[in-house]
């Protein structure tokens, strides 16, 4: 079926432009831009709403295997479609970890059966994510792994990590690391400072992130591996990152939507839905990270979707599990930065769609002829109050419950097929 989407605000993250126009879809690909409607095409009037490449979300936690009661591939995919996320890149921090080709084959099969959106998978860097022995990186690449990470289990043995990096370099594999000194951050629940002291919460210094970053950059320089830092959240981490770029290291960096739009004071009176990892930072840090996204120093914004059930969140703040669901709130939360005048829509989609697709070698994330027709149609100005119980995720642990937000997804397309919404 040929689709012709007309009367749209086209958000192009490659050219960083926003223009009025039309887009034609044929055989699952973008066939033309601003061309007349082909004969026999189904015409969709976008009502002057925004049409952008679908979001490519790196670092989504799905509970299969082991924690399906928190999130399944089906529920995560439905939430993604409702949020304009057309490609999910899952984390391997499951139970058991995705550390063998057989485990990767299982999640590939489950995702293909259950999901209306595209799902790709990262594999563990070390067996069991225990940091003692690297996984079979070559076999996992052959089985479809797009990157390798131990998530928030930082590999402390530098000999093991350097060997894994060297092997990954020889295969052209991408490693994703969590910049954090595990000793300093152990047992922490907040960022150290006046707020944490007044609340009596164990804090971690922002320097823990800087120290973890510095160590990994040294190993990257030694091995030449392709590397992505999953979450840069403090201003002190930006200067060494910038130096690494100037020195020619193959390094990219991401941050989470929560660290871009919330700060440590949002925790308030021990509100555990705001407990994420790393903990929310100061407002100065938040603004510095927003500026780094605007300048391109930080390449990627991700949701870091981490479902937790009620039992793990309804605990004293120190004991509560970290993480928040964010597939459906990703876009409206990001639009806070647009409405505040801090980032343009093309800048946002450069970080949410184009750059993650480029880093993983995927063809998505573009609004150009020949690219997959993975698209999101949204109204950036539509106001609503979020009710967490309306979310399609199984878990409801969102920090935005009851928040006034702007930005609603009207339709989501994957390979030219509409998987959410009824059009404009």
- Answer whether 241's CB lies under 8 Å from 229's CB: yes
Q: How far apart, in whole angstroms, are the C-alpha atoms of residue 10 and residue 140?
A: 38
pLDDT of 423 > 60? The answer is no
> Global pTM?
0.96
pLDDT of 313 > 60? The answer is yes
pLDDT of 424 > 50? The answer is no
What is the signed CA dihedral for 242, 281, 351, 411, rounded to 10 degrees? Answer: 180
Query: Could you tell me the CATH superfamily of domain 53-360?
Result: Metal-dependent hydrolases (3.20.20.140)
CA distances from 372 to 33, 118, 310, 393, 415 (A): 13, 11, 38, 26, 6
Question: Got the DSSP string for 72-117?
Answer: -HHHHHHHHHHTTEEEEEE-S-SSS-S-SHHHHHHHHHHHHHH-SS
The full set of domain ranges for the chain reads 53-360
Give pLDDT, residue 7: 97
Give pLDDT, residue 1: 83
Element (H, E) at 241: helix 238-246
Torsion sign across C-alpha atoms 366, 24, 78, 348 = positive
Mean pLDDT of 395-417: 97
pLDDT of 225 > 60? The answer is yes
Give pLDDT, residue 422: 67
Q: How far apart, in whole angstroms, are the C-alpha atoms of residue 119 and residue 104?
A: 12
Mean pLDDT of the chain: 97
| Residue whose token pair is 């689709």 | 3
Mean pLDDT of 178-190: 95
* pLDDT tens digits along 376-400: 999 999 999 999 999 999 999 999 9
């Amino acid at each position: 079926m040929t689709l012709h989407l007309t009367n749209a605000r086209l958000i192009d993250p490659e050219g960083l432009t926003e223009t009025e126009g039309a887009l034609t879809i044929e055989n699952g690909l973008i066939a033309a831009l601003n061309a007349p409607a082909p004969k026999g095409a189904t015409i969709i009037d976008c009502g002057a709403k925004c049409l952008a490449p679908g979001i490519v979300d790196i670092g989504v936690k799905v509970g299969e295997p082991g924690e399906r009661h928190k999130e399944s591939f089906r529920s995560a995919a439905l939430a993604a479609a409702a949020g304009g996320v057309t490609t999910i890149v899952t984390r391997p921090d499951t139970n058991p970890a995705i550390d063998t080709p057989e485990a990767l084959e299982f999640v590939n099969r489950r995702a293909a059966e259950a999901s209306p959106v595209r799902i790709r998978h990262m594999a563990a860097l070390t067996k069991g994510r225990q940091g003692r022995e690297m996984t079979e990186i070559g076999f996992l690449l052959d089985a479809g792994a797009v990157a390798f990470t131990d998530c928030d289990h930082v590999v402390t043995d530098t000999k093991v990590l350097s060997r894994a990096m060297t092997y990954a370099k020889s295969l052209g594999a991408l490693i994703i690391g969590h910049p954090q000194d595990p000793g300093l951050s152990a047992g922490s629940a907040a960022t150290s400072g006046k707020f944490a002291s007044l609340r009596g919460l164990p804090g971690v210094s922002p320097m823990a992130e800087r120290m973890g970053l510095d160590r990994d950059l040294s190993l990257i320089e030694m091995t030449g591996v392709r590397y992505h830092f999953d979450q840069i959240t403090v201003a002190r981490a930006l200067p060494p990152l910038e130096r690494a770029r100037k020195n020619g290291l193959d390094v990219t960096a991401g941050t989470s939507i929560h660290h871009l739009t919330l700060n440590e004071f949002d925790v308030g009176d021990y509100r555990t839905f705001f407990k994420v990892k790393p903990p929310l930072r100061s407002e100065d840090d938040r603004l510095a990270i927003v500026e780094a996204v605007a300048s391109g120093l930080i390449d990627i914004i991700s949701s870091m979707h981490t479902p937790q059930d009620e039992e793990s969140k309804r605990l004293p703040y120190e004991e509560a599990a970290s993480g928040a669901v964010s597939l459906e709130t990703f876009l409206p939360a990001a639009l806070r930065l647009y409405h505040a005048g801090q980032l343009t829509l093309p800048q946002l989609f450069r970080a949410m769609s184009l750059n993650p697709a480029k880093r993983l070698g995927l063809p998505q994330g573009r609004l150009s002829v020949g690219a997959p027709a993975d698209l999101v149609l949204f109204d950036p100005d539509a106001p609503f109050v979020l009710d967490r119980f309306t979310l399609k995720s199984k878990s409801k642990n969102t920090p935005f419950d009851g928040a006034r937000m702007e930005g609603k997804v009207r339709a989501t397309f994957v390979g030219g097929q509409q998987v959410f919404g009824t059009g404009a």
